[in-house]
Amino acid sequence: TEIYFEPRRRRGGSYSFNIGTAGSISLVIQAIMPALLFSDKHSRVEIIGGTDVSWSPPIDYMRHVFLYNLSLLGVNAKLKVYRRGHYPRGGGKVLIEISPAAEPLKPVHAVLRGKIVRIRGISHAVRLPRHVAQRQASSAAEYIKKEIGIEPEIEIEAYEGRRDPHLGPGSGILVYAEVERGTRIGADSLGAKGKPAETVGREAGEKLVEELRSNMAFDRHMGDMLIPYLFLASGESIVGVSSLTMHTITAIEVAKKFLPEAYVRIQGSTGEPAKISVAGVGFSP
């Protein structure tokens, strides 16, 4: 199979995309951000679809972990969630604002995470009783405190007893660590029919503890999401990821097709903690 792609001018501005299903809003954001970041003006993009769905980062990860970590490279973007969307009905609505980069992105040097400063999170339940979100949060907090001795601060988002604008039902939880190196390390779990809230919360807690035990500055999912921006940045970036995934390896190989002049070195094996060095091209509009 051959894919032919001929890019034309990048144009910022106001856009509205309706996926039409519970398809992932987060994946759309991943696709459009690099182009709009180097466009001719500020962009406001409204996207309707799924905010918390399988096989993609939840919208809370995007706003609390992904965008925060990209800000270390100089990316200026804001994400507002108006309504959550879960499978199968979707209906989530978000607005992302992206300011064009005035200069090439900065390289980032973050291999080891250092000390854990604090752990935060958000547990939500829509078109469901409030206790679902509370039980998710309690289960995650109990596991994290038992394993690493830190009491997480987890916000509860629920609508029982007041207007609930969501199509729902659905639930989920994100927990993330703010660490000494200045990065954020995240983990999440999604509710499902027949899946106890306690299981959802514990899954998120277990995933975060596993990420933190690697001592690396970025979690496995942030590892692959960072790659396009490291290739575009000016100078050498060196980052540590908790686990070298096939997603990350694929992202590197695709980025090489677009920017073959960039240099990449991977120290580590698939499925293990790794250090990735990228000498970016210093792309500017």
Per-residue pLDDT reduced to its tens digit, 194-206? 999 999 999 999 9
**Residue 162's pLDDT band (boundaries 50, 70, 90)?**
confident
Q: Would you say the pTM of this structure is higher than 0.85?
A: yes
pLDDT at 25 over 90: yes
pLDDT at 8 over 90: no
Number of helices and strands (H, E) in the chain?
7, 12
CA dist., res. 181 & res. 221, Å (int) = 18
- Map residue 65 onto helix, strand or coil: helix
Q: What residues have CB less than 8 Å from 271, skipping those under 6 apart?
A: 243, 244, 245
> Pick the catalytic residue: 42, 109, 131, 247?
247
Per the annotation, the verdict on 247 as an active-site residue is yes
**Residue 161's pLDDT band (boundaries 50, 70, 90)?**
confident
- Render the burial of 191-213: b for 16+ CB within 10 Å, e for the rest: beeeeebebbbbbbbbbbbebbe
Give the total residue count for the chain: 285
Kindly state the percentage of the chain with pLDDT values over 90: 95
**Residue 48's pLDDT band (boundaries 50, 70, 90)?**
very high
264, β-bridge pairs: 278
> Which strands make up the sheet holding 263-267, listed edge to edge?
109-110, 234-241, 274-281, 263-267
Average pLDDT of the segment spanning 139-158:
98
- Map residue 262 onto helix, strand or coil: coil
- Map residue 72 onto helix, strand or coil: coil
Contact between 127 and 174 under an 8 Å Cβ cutoff? The reply is no
Q: Give me the residue label for tokens 């997603």.
A: 247
Burial class, 136, CB count within 10 angstroms (exposed 0-12 / middle 13-18 / buried 19+):
buried
